[in-house]
Copies of this chain bind each other. A is one copy, B any other.
Amino acid sequence: MKLVEVVAVGFLLFVSGCSSSPKANTSREDLLRTDHEWAVVASEGKSVDRIVSFWSDDATITPAGAALVSGKVAIRKFVEQSLATPGFHIDWTPEQASASEDGTMAYTTGNNAMTFPGPDGKLITVAGRYVTVWRRDSSGAWKCVADIWNSGT
């Protein structure tokens, strides 16, 4: 290996490991696709396993109008209880995604709608907005580490 080749390898290691925009752009597309896939699975409301798989093991949900839900065990229970609620339905539409320069952290935002029984037992649908924070896991997959939503009214 010649000197110039070694310098070139060092430089390539540096650039490929650290260049920003391409990773951030690829990440953005990945994220919007992942968030959309998650919304489809959650909207179907059939597979707790698949729905829960989008969160990291140490994720925290900050639900509007309910206590924090932290960790996979609590999250699974939260999802199971939601799906067992008569008339429950959730859907969301990702609108924006933005990633760190190295593509290891990101957030998505969008609109959601949740249907559940109101105080009088009749189903109500509440529209909201959400922010979801993501991290890449060791396999390179995006996992939600924090999500929160609220209503504009």
Contacts and interface: CB of A to CB of B under 8 A. Distances in A.
Size band of the interface chain A makes with B: 35 or more
Contacts of A14: 10, 13-14, 17-18
Interface in A79-103: 98-102
B149 A150 contact: yes
B105 A106 contact: yes
A133 B52 CA distance: 23
Contact of A101 (B102, B131, B149): B102
Give the secondary structure class of A's interface: mixed
Nearest to A2: B3
Contact of A131 (B9, B10, B62, B152): B62
Contacts of A18: 14, 17-18, 102
Contacts of A13: 10-11, 13-14
A104 interface: yes
Contacts of A102: 18, 100-102, 104
Q: Please name the 8 residue pairs, one residue from A and one from B, whose CB atoms are nearest each other, closest first.
A: A10-B10, A100-B100, A100-B105, A102-B102, A150-B150, A13-B14, A17-B18, A64-B150
